Each structure stands twice: as structure tokens, then as C-alpha cells.
Amino acid sequence: MPDTILQCNPRADYLAHKREIDAAIEGVLEAGSYVLGQQVAAFEQEFSAYLGVGHAVGVGNGTDALHLALRACGVGRGDAVITVSHTAVATVAAIELVAAEPILVDIDSITLTMDPNRLEAAIKNSRRRRVKAVIPVHLYGQPADLSAILEIAKRYDLYVIEDCAQSHGASWEGRKTGAWGHMATFSFYPTKNLAALGDGGAIVTNDLSLADKSRQLREYGWRDRYVSLLPGLNSRLDELQAAVLRVKLRYLDAANLRRQALARLYDCSLQAQKSVQTPSCGKGLHVYHQYVVRSPERQSLKSYLQSNGISTLIHYPVPVHLQPAYKDRLTIGIGGLGRSEEACQKVLSLPMHPHLADHESLEVCEMLKRWAGSRENN
Ligand SMILES: *Cc1c(COP(=O)(O)O)cnc(C)c1O
């Protein structure tokens, strides 16, 4: 049976804003400047204003954004960086790209984001190491406990780099994610809440010297053309993506409100279900990049929904420290990663995107209840 309800739908988002996006693309094609031009500069302005931060620097993708932010903070060989294992592999890969050592700490079992107690325990336990930065991940669109993490980072003099690849528009105590840390990074991969039609990313910060450094690093270490002040690389945002992102940014708040409304529908329908655990909101404003339920029988649920034309995804089936590329060689914070391992076995991302109809989300709930009913009768 073909999928009738998609888990995500970047094409629907293009079609919803087709006239404006096509016009923006045509404008770039006509203007004749294709990399780091007016569109990128305008997007950087608009995105930093939206977030309430001083500076934004457009780069090639979210992984590069993390890599360059770490380099801008001077993190490198001999340094350690604390993050979580229940995240996209990119978070950990970026730490190794600067030759630093990742230390992985466990998550809170309610919010599935970094447990600040584990963060502090890991810092205390790694006195021999030079812990230089912490990367909290606002997974699924839910802010990590920024107040606690910032307070700990301040006491131990660590940089905080927020990984906001899933949290465009989310906020904590009224301030947007990305406006809390020394730096923050975004991905504009086509399925993210703010999405390009290809790869894209951004680094944001309130610190002018960190912004300048990031700007230089993204293009061969140049401040002035052809003069490399730093050993940099090439990770530029192109004009077509920036022009598309400027259109999409105007609709980001509306899209996030729609995601939140769909989440309420799911919540209302599913909270009474014993067979699945619905996501619980922490203190922050959640923007539901994903709506993630947990079930010890998620494979059966996934197959049942699939056979009824409903696609779901698993974010993520294997935590980073158990992936083939990382297994048995990463440093694990004190207390272990039991909650991360458990989450990976239970999580299932239901269909969630701003163009999902109410009746579609209700159909997902109906099918989920039928699955639960069929299991109780067996
Ligand atoms: C998507 C994502 C990234 C990486 O972004 P890319 O643009 O794919 O490089 C990093 N961290 C998290 C949490 C992500 O979801």
C-alpha cells in the first residue's frame, strides 16, 4: 500500500509558498551573484533579528556550523567537549572534526535532553581532561534545560554551543533557543522546521569577535579577499538557499504554531493510551520538529501503521556511542548512558509537518488505537 500520510513533506511546504519561492529563485538567477551575496547578507540580518541575537553567519550545513563554532571558540586537540549520545551523529562528528574528545552524558528520561546533573558529574569526574565546551541539543524541538546548563557552564568556565538544528523558533523562559549560549548552530536541511531546498546552516552569537572568526573560517580564513588570517575552509551559504530561507522565515512562526496545534491533537487523542507514552513538555516552548511517542513495541506499531499507509521514522534507532563508527571508543560520562539506550529502543516519530491535516493526524491516532486494541485482545 502506498503511503497516504507522510511522516514529513518538504514538497508540500514548497507548494504552499510556490509563487514566492519561484520569484525569489528567479531573482537570484537574474541577479547573477550566486554565493555569499546580498541574499545571504539579508538572511543573516533577518534571522539574527528573529532570534534576538547580534550576529548570524550563513554556512554550508548544520555539521559545518558546529565544526566552525567549535573552532571559533578555540576548541581543538587536547580539549574535551561534553554532549549527549541521543542526538544526530553530526553533533559528535563535529567535535571529532576539530580533533577534540567528545564526552557523552545521559539525558533526562522525561524531556530526552541533556540531564544537567550528569553534565556536572561528568565535569567533576574529568579533572584530568581540559573540558572546554558543552553542546546541549534541543532535540525534537524541545529546549534543553538552558538555565541549569548555563549556570553550570559559567561555574566551570565552559563555552556553551547550542545545537539548534531541530529547534528553530523554540524558546526557554521567553528567549529563543540560540540566544542563550556563547554560540548556537542551525541546520536548514529540507526536513527541519526552517528548511532550505538543499543544504544550509548558520552560526549565531552575540559576541562580535566569535562572529568575525566564524565569518573568516567559512571562507579560507579571509577577512579581506585573498588574505587568509586563519587557516579556514570553504563552507558558504549560497544565494538560492538564502533567498528561499528568507521566504520560509516569514512563515516559521505560523508553521510552528501549526505543529503545536497538531501536537495538541495527538496529545488529546493518545494521552489515555497505555500502549504508548506521549511526549512530555519540559519548561520550554516546544516547536515539535518531531512528535515522538515511546513504546516497548514500537516495531510492531511502526509496521502496523506502515501497512495502513502511515509512514513513521525512528530518531534515532542507535545512540551515537553504539554506532559502528564510534562503538567502544568514546568517553562516556559518569552514570552511563542507560536512559539514552532505552530511549533509542522505544522512540517513534509520528507524522509531523505543518501541512498535515487535522483529519490525517486523527487517522494516525485511530490506527494507533486499533493497533493497541488488537494487542490487548491477543
Ligand atoms: C540535522 C542535524 C544536524 C546536522 O545538520 P546537517 O545540516 O545535516 O549537517 C546536527 N544536529 C542535529 C541535532 C540535527 O538534527
End position of a domain, from candidates 249, 269, 300: 249
Residue 235 near ligand 1, beta carbon < 6 Å: no
Residue 42 pLDDT level (bands cut at 50, 70, 90): very high
Indicate if 201 and 324 belong to the same structural domain.
no
Predicted confidence at residue 3, as pLDDT, reads 67
Domain count for the chain, please give it: 2
From 207, 215, 165, select the one nearest 183 (Cα to Cα): 207
Rounded to two decimals, what is the model's pTM?
0.98
Indicate if 152 and 268 belong to the same structural domain.
no
End position of a domain, from candidates 199, 220, 249: 249
Indicate if 29 and 49 belong to the same structural domain.
yes
> Which atom of ligand 1 approaches the CA of 200 most closely?
7
Distance 201 CA to ligand 1 centre (A): 9
Range of the domain at 360: 252-377
Residue nearest to atom 15 of ligand 1 (CA): 165
Query: What string of H, E and C letters represents the secondary structure of the chain?
Result: CCCCECCCCHHHHHHHCHHHHHHHHHHHHHHCCCECCHHHHHHHHHHHHHHCCCEEEEECCHHHHHHHHHHHCCCCCCEEEEEECCCCHHHHHHHHHCCCEEEEECECCCCCCECHHHHHHHHHHCCCCEEEEECCECHHHCCCCHHHHHHHHHHCCCEEEEECCCCCCCEECCEECCCCCCEEEEECCCCCCCCCCCCCEEEEECCHHHHHHHHHHCECCECCCCCECCCCCECCCEHHHHHHHHHHHHCHHHHHHHHHHHHHHHHHHHCCCCCCECCCCCCCECCCCCEEEECCCHHHHHHHHHHCCECCECCCCCCHHHCCCCCCCCEECCCCCHHHHHHHHHEEEECCCCCCCHHHHHHHHHHHHHHHHHHHCC
List, for residues 255-286, the tens digit of each pLDDT value. 999 999 999 999 999 999 999 999 987 789 99
> Which atom of ligand 1 approaches the CA of 289 most closely?
15
Predicted confidence at residue 378, as pLDDT, reads 60
| Window from 22-31, 56-65, 260-269, 272-281 with minimum mean pLDDT | 272-281
Indicate if 241 and 283 belong to the same structural domain.
no
List, for residues 166-225, the tens digit of each pLDDT value. 999 999 999 999 999 999 999 999 999 999 999 999 999 999 999 999 999 999 999 999
Residue 186 near ligand 1, beta carbon < 6 Å: no
Angle of CA points 66, 111, 328, to nearest 5°: 55
Residue nearest to atom 2 of ligand 1 (CA): 165
Choosing from 63, 235, 352 the residue with most ligand 1 atoms within 8 A of its CB, the one to mutate for a pocket test is 63
End position of a domain, from candidates 223, 249, 275: 249
CATH code of 236's domain? 3.40.640.10
